[in-house]
Amino acid sequence: MVRCKGESVHQSRDWGYYGWPMLFGIAWLVCAHIALELTQGADGIAAVWPPSGIFIAALLFFDRKRRLMTAAWVAAASMASNMWAGSGFLATTGYTVANLVEGYLVYLIMGGSHSARHSLAHPWHMARFGFAAILAGVASALMAGVLSGNLAFAFLSSWFSTVTLGMLIVTPVILFIATDGPNRRELVSLKSLWTMMVVTILSVAAFGQAGIPLTFLPVMAIAIATATLRLSGAAVALVIVAAVGSILTAAGAGPVSLFFGTTEEQVLFFQVYLVALLASSMPLAYLLSQRESDLATIAGNAARLEAAERAAKVGHWRFGPADNSVHWSREALRICGFEGNVQPSFEQWVSLHLPDDRERVRSFIVEATTHGLPFAFESRIERAQGDVVHIDCRGDVETDHQGRVTALFGTMLDVTDRAETMRQLELARARAEREAAEVRLLAATDPLTGMPNRRCILANLAEAMDSAQLRNTPLSLAMIDIDHFKAVNDKFGHGYGDQVIRKIADILCDEARDRDSVGRLGGEEFLFVFPGRKADELDERCIAIKKRLADVEWDQEHDVTLSIGLAQLCAGWDERDLMRAADEALYDAKDAGRNRHAVHAA
């Protein structure tokens, strides 16, 4: 049968999930057997009992399902090891129940299902764990004594000390190695091998002879391991010290036997010694490991911040006015045109600004420093390469507990692209306004003469009439027509006719004064608006226009004359009424012989 890749991976994960509880059970059995074989205390109780620490580490680390599986494996291992050691069934059952209860009691005191959140390297959590271990040791000893029927003080005290100290020593070591992922990988390196060899040699030197008191060497060994391999290194070093010291102390080879006569006393002293090593080295190892982790986090955050600043073209800076200290981020230096890791003074930065911006920038900084106010400004700096960069600076002040300004912190945003875009938009806006004005002018201008066209002059007439009616002032209108213009066109051509129209338009525009308006209605007709003037006051104006026209020297032998009809605005009239009156006056002038002006009789 062919097994697919997905099935293989799934089975591998199942083995990892279900295999660890079994491995903890096997480790419990092996350690229990070794402990019982190496040293024997009162009533056949092991002097060193690390299995309890193994079980508690599993309870604190695993989830609910694997905790139950581990408990089952530990129960089986406890029954097997105690019966192997020669204990009766009743006593073995009592010892097994006590081993299980002590573990779950510590687990509950440490927070139950929330216990995994508590790192034993923290002093408070370590103290809590120590209290839980002592309480669990007392409960375990009493339960073992009751269930086995042995309530002798030697039995109870030996059980309590070995179980409690076993928990205090083994559980933190396992949890440290299990949770210290980054440094745990270094345990298989060559550096780790040499470090553990040094720890082993120093441990053997301390506990393998009694001639020279060298019990301080394990402290040095753990310090070396901590400095080299951090938390996991310290944990493994502690295990090596415990293993070497236990074996040599049990064999009577170490300095402990010089001061304590019985095995129980020697083991108790050694375990207290190990607890002291644990309490002094593990928090320090954790702090060093946490420091490295924090430094790595800070370095990662700094790298991400630098990448974000580079992508956003924004840098940051900090200036201390008291000592002129200054710090510029890499992106701030790039924006200003500085290369490398140079940290220019604040005055150097201010001097980069263009003269038009320099004093304004300085005033913002002085005001922020003096009054403790936030600041924001845009300015231009000229970099060493000669190019000009537009920047947007924003920031605030840092103050001490007395409210005095100690530093300025700000950001610097490169807005050169934005400034260029705004400049292009401004140019485009000006161009659009100019073109719109030209369009409006073209829409209101007669293309032949350049004077206002029919639409524009009629709009001017309407505006002038509204003003006259509002202010109760007079308003007159002149309708002007070129006499016999069709004959000029027929005789000399339309080009010459256009020349005549342009010349007359120039004369009429020159004769316009103040608020007067003049424009071409179309063809050979023009309209002249006289705000504030009565019709009978315009004789001289009409005569002047005709005189100027008479003085023109034309390219062809002919006379060009004008007929003018004048009308004055009357109450209740609108534009059509006024133009009709002017038109009637114009026809009166033509009927009278042309080359003259006539006033409409209202």
Residues labelled catalytic: 524
Strand partners, 476: 530, 568
In sequence order, which residues have a C-beta less than 8 Å from that of residue 320 and are 6 or more positions away?
326, 406, 407
Q: State the DSSP code for 400.
A: -
Distances (CA, A) of 151 to 137, 157, 158, 380: 15, 10, 11, 89
Q: Are 33 and 146 in contact (CB under 8 A)?
A: no
Whole-Å CA distances, 256 to 206, 226, 264, 505: 10, 25, 11, 128
Amino acid code (one letter) for 139: A
Reference 270, options 302, 245, 236; nearest CA is 245
Q: Are 369 and 405 in contact (CB under 8 A)?
A: yes
Q: Give the CB-side neighbour count of residue 469, counting CA atoms within 13 A.
A: 13
Give me 265's structure tokens: 């006393």
231 near 245, Cβ under 8 Å? no
Distance between CA 272 and CA 286 in Å, rounded?
21
Question: Looking at the DSSP assignment, which residues form a beta bridge with residue 517?
Answer: 529
CA 323 to centroid of chain Cα atoms: 30
Q: Using alpha carbons only, what angle is made at residue 165 by residues 160 and 171, rounded to the nearest 5 degrees?
A: 125
End-to-end Cα separation, the chain, in angstroms: 121
Identify the CA nearest to 278 among candidates 164, 137, 113, 188. 164
Q: What are phi and psi of 378, to 5 degrees?
A: -115, 140
Long-range pairs of 262-266 with CB within 8 A, sequence gap ≥ 24: 263/39, 263/40, 263/41, 263/47, 264/41, 264/42, 264/47, 264/158
Q: In angstroms, rounded to a whole number, what is the distance separating the alpha carbons of residues 540 and 536?
A: 10
How many of the other CB atoms lie within 10 Å of CB of 251? 13
Nearest to 162 by CA among 204, 115, 99, 217: 99
Residue type, 461: L
| Nearest one of 179, 58, 165, 173 to 107, comparing CA atoms | 58
Other CB atoms within 10 Å distance of the CB of residue 407: 19
**Tokens 């912190």 sit on residue:** 409
Query: Rounded to whole angstroms, how far apart are CA atoms 393 and 368?
Result: 13
How many angstroms separate the CA atoms of 335 and 352, rounded? 11
